[in-house]
Amino acid sequence: MCSTCGCGRADERHDHAHEHSHGAGHDHGAATPSVLKVEQAILAENDRFAAYNRGFFSGRGIRCFNLISAPGSGKTTLLEKTLEALLGRGRSCCVVEGDQQTDNDARRIARTGAPVHQIQTGRACHLDAHQVGHALEHLAPREGSIVFVENVGNLICPTEFDLGEHERVVLLSVTEGTDKPAKYPLAFRSASAVVIGKLDLLPHVDFDVDEALRLIAGLNPRARVFRLSAKTGDGMAGWLEWLSAGAS
Amino acid sequence: MHELSIATSLVETAARNAEAAGARSVVSLDLKVGALAGVEPDALSFCFPVAARGTICEGAELRLEVGPGSGTCAACGGKTEVRDLLAPCPACGAWPLAVEGGREMRLESLEVT
C-alpha cells in the first residue's frame, strides 16, 4: 500500500456512500468570488524540474535512462550486469536508486564500481524530478556518461512523473503474467523501450512471449523491445548496443 | 497511490496563482482530467483536503471534469471516443487505435475572494 497520506487505510473504515458536506459552521464573507483563468498542467512543477534535469543532461552529453517495473522484475540484476559490461568497455555510468526503504540495491550496485546515490522515498511510491535533480548534485556525472535511474518498484505511480530522462525503459519478466501490459497500459504506453527479462526461466513458466509482444505493439508501436536474460547474458548484446547508441 | 503528490502539486499551483492575483482565499478549483490520465478522480478528491490544509486552498471545493479520450482507427480511419487503451474500434473491431487525447491533467480556473 502506498500510504503517502494514509488514505488507503482510512478508506477501509470510511464509508463513501454519503455526500461530503462543505459544512455550515463558517462564513465565506460577503465578497463575491472572482474567476482566475489558470490553464496549467497540474504537474507543472515536476515538469519544470524534469526540464531542468533534461537540460543538465543535454548540456553534458549525458544519456539518462529511467527504469520502471513491478517489484521483483529484476531491475537491479539487469542493472548490475549492464553496468559490469559498460564499465568494462570504459563507459562512465552512475545510478540513482529509488526505494521506499533500505539501501540494499545501492550496495549491490556499488559493488560494480559505479557511483550510486540512494533516494529513500519513505512512504512515496515513485521518484520525482526534484529528487533526481538533487541526486545529480551528489553524483556529479561526467560528460558523455550514462545515468541510470532505478525507479521505485511500481508500474503505476512512476508513470506520471517525468524525471527528465531521454529514454523510459519498462521491464517485464517472464515470471509475471503475460497480460501485464494490458493491466498497466499507461506504463507500457509511455515507454520508449520494453525489456522482457528472465528469459532463461521461460521453459518453466507459462509466459506467452508472442502474446506479450502483441499487447506491447498494440499499446505502443514505437517501443523498442528487448528479450534477454541478464543471468545467462542471452540477448544482452542488443540491449547494450542500444544503451550505448546516441551517447558520445 | 500517487494522488497525494498530484494533489500537493495542484494546491501549490493554485496557491501560486491565487497569491499572485492578491486573493485572500480560494473558493473552488476547476480541473480537467483526461479519461486516460493516470489519476483516479476519487482518490484525488479524497487527498485534496489533506493537501490543502493550512494553505490558501483550505476548505475549497474541488470540481473535477473528466474529459474523454479520443483516437483514430488505423484500419477504418474512423474517429472515436477512447475509454480504455485496450478497447477495439467500435465501428470495425480493429485494435489498436491511435490515441490522440485524454492524457491531460490541467487546472483550468480558480474562484477566489
Tens digits of per-residue pLDDT, A35-86? Answer: 999 999 999 889 999 999 999 999 999 999 999 999 999 999 999 999 999 9
Q: Which of B17, B112, B31, B59 is nearest to A21 (CA)?
A: B59
Q: How far is A41 from chain B (nearest CA, A)?
A: 4
d(CA A192, CA A164): 13
Contact predicate A121/A105, CB 8 Å: no
Query: What pLDDT is stored for residue A160 in this prediction?
Result: 92
CA dist list (Å): A106 to A72, A91, A99, A115, A236: 15, 19, 9, 9, 22
Query: What pLDDT is stored for residue A113 in this prediction?
Result: 97
Q: Which three cell numbers stand for residue B30?
A: 476547476
Residues in chain A: 248
Query: Which of B9, B42, B105 lies at the smallest CB-CB distance from A45?
Result: B9
Query: What pLDDT is stored for residue A1 in this prediction?
Result: 35
Q: How far is B94 from chain A (nearest CA, A)?
A: 11
Query: Which of A3, A22, A46 lies at the smallest CB-CB distance from B61?
Result: A22
Contacts of B109 in chain A (CB under 8 A): 35-39
Asked if the Cβ–Cβ distance from A33 to B28 is below 8 Å, we say yes
d(CA B21, CA B16): 9
pTM, rounded to two decimals: 0.85
CA dist list (Å): A150 to A123, B62, B77: 17, 34, 39
d(CA B64, CA B106): 10
Query: What pLDDT is stored for residue A3 in this prediction?
Result: 31
First to last CA, chain B: 32
Query: Which of B4, B18, B61 lies at the smallest CB-CB distance from A4?
Result: B4
Please give the residue of chain A at the shortest CA–CA distance from B88.
A218
For the complex shown, is ipTM > 0.95?
no
Residue with cell 483550505: B58
Specify the 3-state DSSP secondary structure of B50.
helix
Mutate to test the interface with A, among B2, B45, B56, B82 (most CBs of A within 10 A): B2
Query: What pLDDT is stored for residue A30 in this prediction?
Result: 56
d(CA A75, CA A172): 9
Asked if the Cβ–Cβ distance from B106 to A43 is below 8 Å, we say no
Give the residues across from B29 on adjacent strands. Answer: B62, B110
**Taking the domains of chain A in order of start, what are their residue ranges?**
44-243
Place domain A44-243 in its CATH homologous superfamily.
P-loop containing nucleotide triphosphate hydrolases (3.40.50.300)
User: Is the pLDDT assigned to residue A88 strictly greater than 90?
Assistant: yes
Contacts of A41 in chain B (CB under 8 A): 104-107
* Cis peptide, bond prior to residue A221, ω within 30 of zero: no
Contacts of A24 in chain B (CB under 8 A): none
- CATH number of the CATH domain containing B45: 3.30.2320.80
The pLDDT-based confidence of A136 (bands split at 50, 70, 90) is very high
Q: How far is B69 from chain A (nearest CA, A)?
A: 13
Domain extent for B48: 3-112
d(CA B110, CA A39): 10
Query: What pLDDT is stored for residue A12 in this prediction?
Result: 35
Query: Which of A7, A35, A221 lies at the smallest CB-CB distance from B47?
Result: A7
Q: pLDDT, tens digit, for every residue of B57-79?
A: 999 999 999 999 999 998 999 99
Antiparallel, parallel or unpaired: β A146-150 and B26-34: unpaired
Asked if the Cβ–Cβ distance from B4 to A45 is below 8 Å, we say no
Asked if the Cβ–Cβ distance from B59 to A26 is below 8 Å, we say yes
Specify the 3-state DSSP secondary structure of B60.
coil
d(CA B102, CA B49): 25
Phi, psi of A132 (to 5 degrees): -65, -35
Q: Which three cell numbers stand for residue A174?
A: 517472464
Signed CA dihedral, A68, A70, A76, A78: sign only:
negative
**B62, HSE (Cβ side, Cα atoms, 13 Å):** 26
Q: How many domains does chain B have?
A: 1
Q: Where are the alpha helices (DSSP H) in chain A?
A: 7-13, 44-59, 75-88, 104-110, 129-139, 180-183, 185-190, 209-219, 236-244
d(CA A94, CA A14): 45
CA dist list (Å): A176 to A32, A215, B3: 56, 14, 26
Q: Which three cell numbers stand for residue B85?
A: 487503451
Q: pLDDT, tens digit, for every residue of A140-197?
A: 999 999 999 999 999 999 999 999 999 999 999 999 999 999 999 999 999 999 999 9
